[in-house]
């Protein structure tokens, strides 16, 4: 799957050296968190993104065209009292609520963002846990893509023609599936046909 970029972003990516930061937006019912991996606060996209160590790390970002669910794991600082309250609150406050991640590139000489940040992940928050490693701890936030999730999109269980032919070239068993779903037809059972004929007989 290709990612749409912009001229400024591409110029920075082609430079010999550049900086990179992530912007994470978590839209809970109680409010929206905007965090960045940069050590300073960042003003971009019309918002201020907190960058004082609140966001620790982000797992690898990748895409899939085969219908598999994509997941991203975030590490938030357990030292932040507000984030602790967020993690320990009612799961309904954040579960299945929007989560988005942008990537921005910076000029290595000026430290300024080049071009518009690129959206790399759009999904929902799933599970949140407080993890401990000796004297250290962190808040783990698992996010998943919503388009392939079976709970919110049962049709994700359905295989399409393109997926089927990629596994079984030349097989046409799913070729009419999409039209059947989009234009359902009413099929009359044998018993109903007999009943219609019987009613017509009585009326005749």
**Mean pLDDT in order along the chain per 10 residues (204 residues):** 72 81 93 91 93 83 61 88 87 92 88 88 89 80 71 56 77 72 61 78 76
Q: Is 149 helix (H, G, I), strand (E, B) or coil?
A: coil
Per-residue confidence (pLDDT) for residue 101, from 0 to 100: 93
The burial class, CB within 10 Å (0-12 / 13-18 / 19+), for 106 is middle
Instruction: Check if the beta carbon of residue 20 is closer than 8 Å to that of residue 41.
Output: no
Per-residue confidence (pLDDT) for residue 167, from 0 to 100: 78
Per-residue confidence (pLDDT) for residue 1, from 0 to 100: 47
Per-residue confidence (pLDDT) for residue 8, from 0 to 100: 82
Q: What is the DSSP string of 4-68?
A: ---HHHHHHHTSSSEEEEEEEEEEETTEEEEEESSSS-EEETTEEEB-SSSEEEEPPP---SSSP
**Whole-structure pTM over 0.75, yes or no?**
no
Alpha-carbon span 47 to 155, nearest angstrom: 36
Per-residue confidence (pLDDT) for residue 36, from 0 to 100: 93
Per-residue confidence (pLDDT) for residue 185, from 0 to 100: 60
């Amino acid at each position: 799957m290709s990612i749409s970029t912009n001229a400024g972003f591409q110029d920075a990516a082609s430079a010999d050296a550049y900086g990179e930061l992530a912007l994470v937006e978590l839209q809970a019912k109680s409010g929206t968190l905007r965090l960045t991996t940069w050590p300073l606060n960042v003003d971009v996209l019309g918002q201020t993104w907190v960058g004082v160590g609140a966001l620790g790390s982000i797992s690898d970002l990748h895409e899939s065209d085969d219908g598999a669910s994509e997941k991203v794991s975030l590490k938030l600082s357990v030292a932040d009292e507000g984030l602790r309250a967020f993690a320990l609150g009612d799961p309904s406050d954040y579960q299945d609520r929007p989560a988005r991640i942008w990537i921005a590139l910076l000029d290595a000489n000026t430290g300024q963002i080049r071009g518009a940040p690129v959206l790399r992940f759009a999904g929902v928050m799933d599970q949140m846990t407080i993890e401990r490693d000796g004297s250290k701890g962190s808040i783990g936030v698992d996010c998943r893509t919503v388009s392939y999730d079976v709970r919110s999109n049962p049709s994700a269980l359905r295989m399409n023609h393109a997926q089927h032919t990629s596994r079984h070239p030349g097989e046409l068993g799913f070729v009419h599936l999409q039209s059947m779903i989009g234009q359902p037809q009413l099929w009359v059972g044998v018993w109903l046909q007999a009943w219609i004929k019987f009613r017509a007989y009585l009326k005749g």
